[in-house]
Structure 1
């Protein structure tokens, strides 16, 4: 192979490399063009997307502003919370509730009202509330005015009281001056009274001598009266306490009715009660029950048992009867001393004793048979006098009267 051929081949190879490089360069330019076109298209689309995003953000900001404004009006937005959003659901629920309430007020529970009507109803209610507030303010102003007037009256009264106190102090000073003047006069009167006292003492000594002589005469008269009382006590023949008043003649089969040997000839009255006694060993009486007179005949009486009969110790013929208030063929005279309880008053005791054939004396005398003791006067407290320390008790004791306590005979007086 010659040099020309080698040069020809070398030129061909160079040309091929040149052509390849050109082709690669053209391909690169084509690829670069296509890439730039895509980038431009992408940038256009991105710009459009960014514009739409800006519009959406603007709409969102408007919506958020509207929500916030609405929330500020109805109270559904917390201004202190940066992330706070309007609670549209709660707002809608409250608007629906307000519309329903407005419907109830405007047209009944089935009425449908609009938001405008609801707002008008709320405005009307708000105006009514404002009117009520104005009325309350007016009332408060009136009350404040009344209090101011009261304060003025209080100040006026305080002034009057101070004037009265000043006058009273002046009166007190005048009275003290008058008292001092009177004290001087009283000193002079005291001297005169001492002179009079001396004269009175002389007269009293003379009177005392006269009283001593009168006391001597009174002692003589009292001794004579004591002698007469002793004679009356010796002549008195009281019935010995505990002596039977009668005897059981017969008893019914059931032991609840009996006959006694005391009748109208002995001054017996219906309603009189007797203790039924039997004579035991040693001459002592044992109680068997209480009977009450039901019917009185001439020489006997029918009595009924009070309470239930004792099957182991029944009333039998031969038993005796006793009542400390009853005296055969005699009207017993009583005198009531002391205070008597409401359940057993003096009026009641007087009536019952009269019903049972006795009598009650207004004053204690020599003809009185029985002294009935009540209770001492508790109204006098520690100064109350015991009944056995009274003049009546001492006189009854001297005259030999029978003395009984109300508690001992109250069961014979009850119905």
Structure 2
């Protein structure tokens, strides 16, 4: 909202600037028009002055005619007035008309009345006729010039009045726009104060919400820690139960037994099938019992074909199982898959990728994330390339989170050499 108010203020300032510029251009146009009118009047006055000189020459000729006339009538005409220095043309013409032309006309009239029948008068009229016509024409031009000057003065006064009126209107409009701009500034200032107040209120609300959120997060984290501890305890109990079952299974519970053996074909049948999630390629170890329930191992067999309730297996190497022998595989479980996690790099005959491939081929699983569902944490060498020689720490794994979690979750930890039992199976 503050940005919008500032934009409106900027627009008003721009409009005010444009309006002032229009006023200035209008005033300049009026002045320029008046200036052109004055120049035209000056040119016309100059032309009139030149014509006045021509008229003056004619007046001089008239005076000479009057002198000739005086010889006939015995009278001397009045002297022709000379223009004074700096005297305006209209003033001089007015004075010439009053001081010379009118007396001459009066004497001519008097001469006409007294010498009307005289032949000399006819000669004089022939001389004075053109001069009188020139004087009448000049009088008309002088009157026209006076009218032009009067009209020019009237136009100038009208233009000045119109200009003053326009300037007054522009001043009024400028004052109005200035007042609008001031009002807009006041409204913007009020809005800014309101926005600042709203901002402070929002900041207070945000601080209160943040405090509530942090308290809720803290409570939630504490609850998560409690739940995590509870789950870890339950996982530990489950691990203990599963470990006990696995130990019992390895000791007392085989995966199945041999139904029949044919040494000539090197094949045998076992009582495990697809119902027990058995797949081809699974390898079992066979054993029977001696006196005292001591296990007597008879070699390995590999599943070749699987049916619903039984599977056909091939004898491996010098295996000599007997009908009724038991079969076992630490990877195989009717309902569970063994999960491994590698901590560090495996030394020895198999690296991490090779060991992973072998384990997965035997129905086990190798995961990249450590969690309570892992069955075996396999500890290898320190993956740090700089941890060699004197810098090597044989117990480096004890500083890892996986080791701490394995202790907390009671997950079985084995060395890489112990993993070879599974890899050789």
Q: Does the pair score TM above 0.5?
A: no
TM-score bracket relative to the smaller structure: 0.3 to 0.5
- Relative contact order higher in (CA < 8 Å, ≥ 6 apart): 2
Q: Structure 1-normalised TM-score?
A: 0.40
